Amino acid sequence: MSETRGNRIVPVLVMLIAIVAIWYAGTYFMNAPFQRDLDRRAEVERSSGDLFLATMTQAKPTLPAPHQVAANFFENTFLRKITSNRSLIYHAGVTLSSTLLGFVIGTVLGILIAVGIVHFTSLDRSLMPWIIASQTIPILALAPMIIVVLAAVNLTGLLPKALISTYLSFFPVAVGMVKGLRSPEIINLDLMHTYHASKAQTFWKLRLPASVPFLFASMKVAIAASLVGAIVGELPTGAVAGIGAKLLAGSYYSQTIDMFAALVAGSLVAVLLVTAVDVVGRIVERRMGARPA
């Protein structure tokens, strides 16, 4: 058991160390030209070692060093009051609210669309191509239009951002549920037909239970997409709170360290959300009689 865990952890640690090393190298090469220019203007001469250290401690670097991002993240996560507008927990909570609302709406919409597609051939032929085509529209182009249109009818705040999250999250759920609802084998469907089961009985007793693994697999993709939608939705709204607002403010004032710390916070929120969906999925599947992997 310990060997298996070691075999899983070691590759992750090696990859993490490689990423950090490449990050530090990129920090040096991207910050060095600006640091040399500063030294030239101040008539300061540095050794190679001093130049390397200087590139790692710039106040507004082109690419912040990992330790700068880590220090900023720690300060704005653990040393700030949650109600402070500099707290990453506060901003993450604002983004999380629209993420969860959009995810719930998108999941329900995706399930309803999938049920319709599976039971009505006309919907499969007419609706599915449009669903696929809808995902080819860049969300950065669509989000401002959604914000402007909803603002014209006095819908502002949480709902517009949630609808952008819905737009990104319903698609994986719909596609996954369609595959799940169609996953029962012909022999099982023939057995239900032999029992004179109605379409509703076949759905509740066979198709829906068979689709549960597909549903939770697609929900893990959907919850991450929903978070991306919520962050993107905060950019054109002029929001003053949220991870997207934090990124936008950082870009205005060249606070790259704050921007990277906000990205780390968003990544951790995504990990927690995906993990939560995975845990719920495992619990549901075990209660349905599935064997643990």
**Integer Cα distance of 251 and 212 in angstroms:** 42
Given a contact cutoff of 8 angstroms between Cβ atoms, the answer to whether 206 and 189 are in contact is yes
Mean pLDDT of 255-271: 91
**Residue 203 one-letter amino acid:** F
State residue 239's pLDDT score: 67
pLDDT in tens, 113-163: 999 988 888 887 888 888 888 888 888 778 778 877 887 787 777 788 888
DSSP 236-257: TTT-SSSHHHHHHHHHHTT-HH
CATH, residue 107: 1.10.3720.10
For residues 275 and 158, membership in a common domain is answered with yes
Given a contact cutoff of 8 angstroms between Cβ atoms, the answer to whether 56 and 68 are in contact is yes
Q: Which whole-number Å values give the CA distances from 154 to 98, 101, 159, 217, 233, in the listed order? A: 18, 19, 11, 36, 17
For residues 53 and 116, membership in a common domain is answered with no
Show the tokens assigned to 206. 């066979």
For residues 244 and 138, membership in a common domain is answered with yes
Is 224 within the bounds of a domain? yes
- Tell me which of 20, 46, 63 is where a domain ends: 63
For residues 179 and 98, membership in a common domain is answered with yes
Given a contact cutoff of 8 angstroms between Cβ atoms, the answer to whether 158 and 98 are in contact is yes
State residue 223's pLDDT score: 95
- pLDDT exceeding 70 applies to what percent of the chain? 95
Give the domain extent around 30: 2-63
State residue 66's pLDDT score: 93
- pLDDT exceeding 90 applies to what percent of the chain? 32
Among candidate residues 111, 233, 232, 98, the one with its CA nearest the CA of residue 170: 111
**Integer Cα distance of 110 and 116 in angstroms:** 10
Is 77 within the bounds of a domain? no
For residues 49 and 164, membership in a common domain is answered with no
Among candidate residues 103, 141, 105, 80, the one with its CA nearest the CA of residue 265: 80
Is 70 within the bounds of a domain? no
SS3 state at 292: coil
